[in-house]
Structure formats: structure tokens, C-alpha cells
Structure 1
């Protein structure tokens, strides 16, 4: 294939095969913010993303082919700041091109004084118009105070937000008086949701039941959220006990808030409800009883427990386990780990990740115990070994993206318990 031809002016025109254009543009496009901790809200990192996105739009001017692919990337993930007037222009664009949009990230923090702002009702009405023009939206993330989006003072027709095709919903912030409205909005998305993630909530309106069952829910993630075990059970049970979402749940993550009661709650009733634990393939818990939880989960393929503990969890690990992430404290004494990894119970284990507390040098300490025996035991068993170090999460974590994200959350718990208002 010729890479170029001479036009009538004699200059060389380069022709790029259309199938290569998406790869080029994906490489050049800005990366939207994700899993934003508290400081990111303060420094408004989303503004930098919006700036980078405006620069990226220039690629649409290259030619018609580039314009088509640029539009798909540009509208794939949408960043919506609270009451920003730009949502009116976005709503207009989505009426024509909303089928390209898949993810919307909403920030309900107050904008700067220099920003051109809409009043709350007009903003929510425009947001509702955006949702109605996005027939293939798959994920919504809302950061901040849920009252601003789902407040009682909004007109009934505004704030319904029918997420008809939504598969993933992430709520990061606080719930005040809008609990019932939030539950109703969640209920309308319930039949389609596969992932529900709740983060930093210090209260949760479990006194209101969902009007529709979470019939397709495969992943439930509770970050730094005050845990009410009966409330979570009610959430999974829904209005129809015969259609309990626990029947399809495969991934469960529970990271209690530091405001959680002492001692930590017993989640056994949750794991035994409708045989939830027997169906789980992925379990991460923090500061909870690992042994009691593992007894309820005989078919796990991934188990993550990076809490500091001296408990011996190895006799309780199921034979089905393929990935294991643990705190380095569990490797002392090392003989019980060596005995486990060389046993029949670890025959399916492929990957081990060890979370170090704060000393990166320990990740490379090949001459000190207990790490030499651990390294050798993993090598003999054919198990890949990864050290997870705070501040160096990208080191050797290929294929552990979900674990790295959750590990980062655990490491930032002292800040994570703060309310976002």
C-alpha cells in the first residue's frame, strides 16, 4: 500500500489507513479523572481535563474521517461540573450525537466565582435532557453532595434521571435529606445495574427500600461507608424476595469507614443471606474477620485482605483461589505461608500480591527474612509475586488494576472518612 501520493502542487500527501486512526487518537486523547480522592476535588483537576479535551478537538479539523473518530472519543466520557453553563451546549450536542456517549462524571462541588452558573433547577433540567439523549450510557459517577442532584426541592419532573441503559453507578460523597429521592432514582436503574459502588457515605437511607430489584447486580463495592449489614441485605433483597440480587452477585468489596463501630461488624449474615458467599468469585474486606468470611465463600477466585493482622488465614483459603493479595504481616512467620503454597490447597493459585506498609526498600529486599523464603516458595510453586508499595502502585501491577485501585483506597483511609460537602 502506498503511504502517500503527490498532489497537483507537488507536495506529498500522507494517507493513513482508516483502521489506524482510532489507535492514533486514543493515544493522543486526554485521560478522564477516575477514583478521585478528596484533594482532587479541591484543586479541580477536572478543569485540566476539560482544557486538554478542548485541545484534542483540533484533531477533528484534519479531515472527515478524523472528525468522525474524534467525535466518538470526545463524547465517550463527559465531565459535568456543578451548575456550569456549558451543560446547555453539551445538551444541544448530545441531541445529535448522544449515541456516542458511554460515561458521565458529575461533580457537585461549588464552582469558582468567575464561572458562569445556572440556577439549580435549570442545571438539573439540562442534565436530565443530557441523559435522555444518551441511549447507550453505561456508567454514571457522581461526586459530592447527593442532595444537590436528588434534593426534595426539585420539581418532580426534574431529577427523575431515568438511567434506562445504565450498567454501572458510582456515588462518592454524602447523603443528607435526599435519601428517598436517591433511592427512587437508583430504583429506576436497578433492573439494568451490574455494578454499584458507594464511597465515603457516612449515612445511607436504608430505611427506604428499592422499588425494583437489582436483578443483574454482579458487583457491589462499599468504600469507607458506614456499614449496616441488615441494610445491605435489604438492598440485595429488594421488593421481591424471589428475585434477590444476591443470586447473581459475584464481586463484593467492603471497606468500612473509620467511623465504623468498634469492634467491626460481623458480615456473616450478609454472606449467608441467600447463599451470597457461595456464589462469590471476588471478595475484598478490610478490618473485618477474614477467617469467618472465608468459611462462607468456598468458590472464591480472588481474595484481597491487606489489613494488618496476625491471623492465620491460610487454612481457610479455598482451593479455587487464583489470585491472592495480602498484607506483609501475614508472611510472618513465613513457615505457615510456605506450607500453604506448597500444599494441595494452593494448586490453582497463580498470582500473589503482598502489600507493604510504607517502606519501598522492602519490596526489593532479597537477602532478608522472611522475604527470601516467600520468594523462593512462590518460584517453586510457579506463582507470580508482586509487591504493592504505597506511592509506587504502578510497579509490576499489570493485570491487578482492580486491586491497585482498592489498595490505594485503603492506604488513604484517614482522609477517606471525611465528608464531601
Structure 2
């Protein structure tokens, strides 16, 4: 090569984001936070990986721009951690890049600068005001720490006008009135509300502002209070309840709740909520009574072991169905269903195998050969959900994969596509 020739290699700017996504902690972050993430400290690994990723910001000015967007997309805010002061300073200039904030209300391991509770809330409020496009907030740990009776004045000034999704994961020791008021400040804008591991439910309380835009309500391993949920949807104004906009409902009752769990029919019939649903996932609840109230479902997920014959109750609009393998015995019920007009819109079927059926599946070849053949003839994609193995991925079911992991009967799974 002749002297003076430029030996540097130039990477087209449009390729840089793809390169960085392969080494970015945000790409694998959902899998880094398992069910007990807020107690086992696995979220701290994400912060460590993020600091390692920071080195890529110094490659050049172009890389700095792209890494900034990735680094500030998902923010981890430990309880009372003094690092929030530094975060405040950064967000004043770059807060428009932030999309998700996760607050962990438990003590972090190792030395850290702890702030006074009021100072922490004041800094958190400044962070929120610097993030005009933040659509999602997740709070993990003990809810009473951040939504306790001694609520400081700073919390009342939090503004979540851009918030579209709120996730609360943890325990509640009091009646939850302050939690409802915290929800009320963002209720008018929320489209998704997810609550996990609440062993109590706020009683005799209602939201100060109705959930006018709520489209998705997810209750995972949470105490099921049907009147309480109806009150949440009704809000303070009975004429503007959120049951009119709800399209997705997931109910996985707490395993500590008495058996059988309460009947959810009053919830589904409340202001014809069930008639508007397009997505329904329930666990350990009566599937037949629920299906009768939801004629327009496009997705139904029920992987609880049951001997009930749900096929006559499945709506004609159904496109995706996930069921327990116990529903396939006897298999002639399913074969009759999938060949009928009621299943003419069905595109995907997922079958959850327990350990016994999986053993038969591996030793006997094809114990559900008639089911497999019926699916092929009907042009329906068939997926077997195998328990006890690492990983989980439902192709085309991105909105349900995390929910499968929560069901106790399928703590871990991987899929075999046929």
C-alpha cells in the first residue's frame, strides 16, 4: 500500500446499533430478572454489565451517541442509593433517552451511600421530570417502603404524564390506600398495569382518577379479590370505568390463596368486560365459566391440569390456544374440535406437558399422534411446552412467554417445535 493511504476501517453508522445490541445488557435484560429478582439481587449483575458496556462509549464520538441511547434506556434505581444524585445530573441533559425505570426497594449488598428518605424522593422526582418520554416504571420489593403511611410531600408532586405501563412487584403490609393514590396520579394515562406477589388487596378504596386507557391488566401470583379488582376498574366514576377499554386480562392467583379460588364471573360480566377481551390467561380458575363470558377472545391460555372439556366453550374468533396436555385425553374431543367450524380461525396451539406426559412423550414416541396429525391437516402450528428444562421461547407469543414462567407447574421450560 502506498504511503499516505488511509488504513482506518470505517463502519457505516447504520450498522453500529446492530453491533452494539449483541453486546448490550439491555438485549438480555428480561431474562436476567427471574421471578425472585427483587430478592436475590440478580438485578445488580445488570448494573455491573452496564458499567462494562460503558467502555464502548469511548471508541469514538459516533459510538458514544449510540451507546448513550442503550445505556440510558433501562435505569436501575436501588432504594435510598446515593447514586441517584449522579443519575439526576446525567438525566438533565440526556433524560430523553430513558424509557424504563426500575426501583428496587430493598437494601443493596456492599458499601453504598445512603440518602435520607426525603432527599431520595426529591432526587427521584427530579429524575422523573427529566424523562419526558418514559413509558414504563417497575417497582420491586416492599411496597410499603415507597408507598407507606408516612408519605413525604415530594411523592405527591410526582408527574407521570408519559407513563403507559406500571409494574408493582412485592409485598404490601397495610391496606394499600397509599398505593391506590400513587396509581391515581398516572391512572389517566396507564395502558398496562401489572401487579405481582401482593398477598393483600386494598379494601374499600378506589382510585382518585379512573383508568381511562387501561388495555392490559396482569395479576400474577396475587391475592384474588374479585370485588377489589372490580373497584379498581370502576374507579371513582362509575360511568367511566376501565372495563370499557380492557382487552387483555391475566389472572394467576396466589398459591397461598384458599382452594378453589373465587369465581371471576362477576369480574368478566362487570360492564360486559369479558365481551371486549381479546386475550385471557387464567390459572387454577374455572375455564368453562370464564369462556362463556368472553365470546371475542383471540388468545386463550389455560395450562392448569384439568379434566374439564373446554372445547365446546372456545370462541370462534380464537387464533391462539395454550392448554395442558391433560385436556387431550381422550384425544377424540380435541380432534373433533379442530376439524369443526369452531376452530376455523385457530392458527397456533401450544400444549404444556407435565413430567408424566413428557416421559411418555420421550419413551413412547408420539403418544399424541392423532393430535399432531389433526393439527397438520388443519394447518395449525403445534408447540410442545416441555417442563424442567432451561429457557423459554414461544415463537410469535412474545406477550405470553414471561407469564408461562410464573405458573408454578411450569417453573422452567423450553419448546420443541413440530
TM-score (norm 1): 0.92
Say if 2:175 and 2:201, in contact at 8 Å, map to a contact too: no
Q: CA 1:123/1:184 → structure 2, altered by over 3 Å: closer, same or farther?
A: same
Query: Could you tell me which residue of structure 1 aligns to residue 416 of structure 2?
Result: none
Q: CA 1:299/1:137 → structure 2, altered by over 3 Å: closer, same or farther?
A: same
**Counterparts of 1:346 and 1:264 in 2: how far apart (Å)?**
30
Deviations 1:288-336 (A, max 9, x none): 1100000000000000000110000000000100000000100001110
Counterpart secondary structure, 1:386: strand
Say if 1:302 and 1:324, in contact at 8 Å, map to a contact too: yes
Matched, 1:262 2:259: yes
Deviations 1:260-293 (A, max 9, x none): 2333211111101111011000001111110000
Match of 1:272 among 265, 269, 274: 269
Q: CA 1:7/1:329 → structure 2, altered by over 3 Å: closer, same or farther?
A: farther
Say if 1:200 and 1:257, in contact at 8 Å, map to a contact too: yes
Query: Could you tell me which residue of structure 1 aligns to residue 8 of structure 2?
Result: 13
> What is the RMSD of the two structures over their aligned residues, measured on CA atoms?
2.1
Q: CA 1:400/1:392 → structure 2, altered by over 3 Å: closer, same or farther?
A: farther
Matched, 1:151 2:145: no
Say if 1:304 and 1:324, in contact at 8 Å, map to a contact too: yes
Q: C-alpha displacement at 1:97, in angstroms?
A: 0.7
| Uncovered stretches (5+) of structure 1, i.e. residues with no partner | 415-421
Is the deviation greater in 283-292 or in 117-126?
A: 117-126
Q: C-alpha displacement at 1:99, in angstroms?
A: 0.7
How many residue pairs align between the two structures?
408
Q: C-alpha displacement at 1:259, in angstroms?
A: 2.2
Counterpart secondary structure, 1:189: coil
Counterpart secondary structure, 2:355: coil
Query: Could you tell me which residue of structure 2 aligns to residue 105 of structure 1?
Result: 102
Say if 1:390 and 1:408, in contact at 8 Å, map to a contact too: no
Deviations 1:96-117 (A, max 9, x none): 1111100011111112252222
Q: Which has the higher contact order (CA 8 A, sep 6+)?
A: 1
| Uncovered stretches (5+) of structure 2, i.e. residues with no partner | 412-418
Q: C-alpha displacement at 1:225, in angstroms?
A: 0.9
Say if 2:388 and 2:410, in contact at 8 Å, map to a contact too: no
Match of 1:197 among 176, 194, 198: 194
Matched, 1:240 2:237: yes
Match of 2:223 among 206, 226, 235: 226
Q: CA 1:79/1:257 → structure 2, altered by over 3 Å: closer, same or farther?
A: same
Q: CA 1:132/1:413 → structure 2, altered by over 3 Å: closer, same or farther?
A: farther
Say if 1:147 and 1:176, in contact at 8 Å, map to a contact too: yes
Q: CA 1:228/1:399 → structure 2, altered by over 3 Å: closer, same or farther?
A: same
Say if 1:222 and 1:255, in contact at 8 Å, map to a contact too: yes
**Counterparts of 1:325 and 1:127 in 2: how far apart (Å)?**
41
Is the deviation greater in 115-124 or in 187-196?
A: 115-124
**Counterparts of 2:229 and 2:151 in 1: how far apart (Å)?**
28
**Counterparts of 1:274 and 1:128 in 2: how far apart (Å)?**
37
**Counterparts of 1:161 and 1:363 in 2: how far apart (Å)?**
54
**Counterparts of 1:202 and 1:171 in 2: how far apart (Å)?**
12
